[in-house]
Every structure is written in C-alpha cells, then in structure tokens.
Structure 1
C-alpha cells in the first residue's frame, strides 16, 4: 500500500515537472516570436533577426523572406513553401534523394541473433531430412525383411520339393 502511494506521488511530481518544462518552453518560444514582430519591448530582445549581408556592398539585404511563421491564435507554426523559390526546389530534390537512398539502403552489419536464428533453422532442416531418411530406410528395411523371409520360406519349400522328388517319391511316406 505504501509503495503504491509513493509511486502515485512520484508520478504527480513527474507530471508537474513536465508541465513546468512545457510552460518554460512555450514562454521562450513566445519571446522568440515576439522578438521578430518588430514591436518594441521593455526588455532587451534575446533573439535577433538576421539579415543577409553582402560583403561586396557592405550592406544588409532586408528582402530575405521568412521560412516560418507563428500563428499566435492556434499556437501553430507554419512554413511558407513557394514553388518558384530555388531553395525549396533544391531542398525537395535532396529530400527525394534521401528517401530513395533510404529505400535502397543495403543491409549493414549482420546481427548475431539473426545469424544464430539462421544456424538453428539450418540445424532443424538437417534434422528433418535425417528423420525422413530414417523413415524411408526403416520402410525399405521392413519391406526387404519381409521379402527375405518370404524368399527364405519359399526357398526352403522349393529345396525339398524339387521335380525329382515328385518324380521318384512316394507321397505317402513324405514327411512334409
């Protein structure tokens, strides 16, 4: 009973800690988004929006488009994908290549458990073959034994009952 209560307390503490971490993460992300809104704040911004710097003209290019936006109503961030943007087309080509190489990925190092399973399967296959051969041998042996016994008994009769025995023997005195 005591262990159950302590477990429940531990779970509650873990949930509270997780909730605190989620709140802190949301607060930091909200600060991050707020720093790019351009609205002045009372505190110094922790995140600074970067611009494209051209060293030849020594000027910053402010025409760089944002790749992501944050929807404050739904707390969702969305990406802007434009078909004409060369970076997105290049990125999509890279992703396609990655998917193709992932699909064509050759099996790497063989795990020991796989080789062990294959070894067991091979041993089982050999045992099954030996068992089947033993059954066939036993059937053949039984059949041969039957035929030998049949031939022996027939040979014994034929040995005593040859044609000459019939020709010169009086059947009344024959023991067989």
Structure 2
C-alpha cells in the first residue's frame, strides 16, 4: 500500500525536476550573462547540498529508531546517537559558515565586469563609495580542508585607506577572478582549515 502511494509522488517529482531543468537550460541559451552577483537561492543550494544531505541522513535515523514497533536496546540507541553526532560533525561547520556568510552578505550586491574595468559594491541598494586607488590591501582566505563539506567557503576582504573594510564571501560568487582583477593591490593570501571570520 505504501508503494502505491509513494510511486505517483516520486514520478511527479522526477517529471517536475526534468521540466524545470529543461526550462532553465532553454532560458540560459537566450539570456544575457549577468555581471551582478548576490546571495541567490541557487548559489546557496549549490553550497549547502552536501551538508544538508548529510544532516538529513543523520536525522532521519532518529524517528525510525524512536517510533519503531520493536523495543530498542541501549546499544542500538548508542549507535543511532553516534551516527547522528557523526553527521553533525560533518555538516555542522558548513552550516555555521553558511549562516555567518549569509549575515555578512545577504544585502550585498557586487557588480563586477573585468573587461570593462567595472567594480562596484552595493549594500542594501546603496552604492559603497570607493575607487580602486582607495584600496590599501586585500586579504584572500581560502580553505585548506579540500575534502570537507565547507571546502568551498572562503572570503576576500578589501581594506580601504580610511579604515573601512568590505568583505565578500563565496556566497556571492567565485572569488578567485576578483582576486586576479585586484592583483595590482597588495594582497595577503592565507589558507585556513575553517574560514571563519
């Protein structure tokens, strides 16, 4: 009975996924490439896919053990809680970084087009006034833990001569092209195991 209920739902989900994927591909053929970068839902899901999948796998075990028909032994509870703790250790740092980066850049818009030498930053719709000559230095921080769920979380901080600093996180876009664009500014590159700021 359960399979007769879930099978049509699964078929509808697959068809919907294929239709939306095809529509996105077709609109991508005719759309103009944007040079404005924001913390979009698609970018966030690209970064959060594996951490959320691991967290869901870990948390899905708890209801199965807690609401099962057979009595559960202490050893089974220990295994279940160990598995949940393991998935939290895997996905927790990425989720914390994502939340931190979102609080920093959810209102930030970056307009970046190197071929036209265009580089502007907007906070909550207002342009942040600075020129390239106002930049004192750039800090580029990347993740050293390449095989972790938080490996794609990194950031770049612009330090201005007047003491202000502007931080761009990987939630906006890939930051390496921006670092290459700003190569004339003194740049400090560092690598950390976990790119918290």
Query: What's the TM-score once normalised by structure 1's chain length?
Result: 0.27
Instruction: Give the greater-gyration-radius structure (CA).
Output: 1
User: Which structure has more RCO (C-alpha within 8 Å, separation ≥ 6)?
Assistant: 2
Give the structure with the higher percent helix: 1
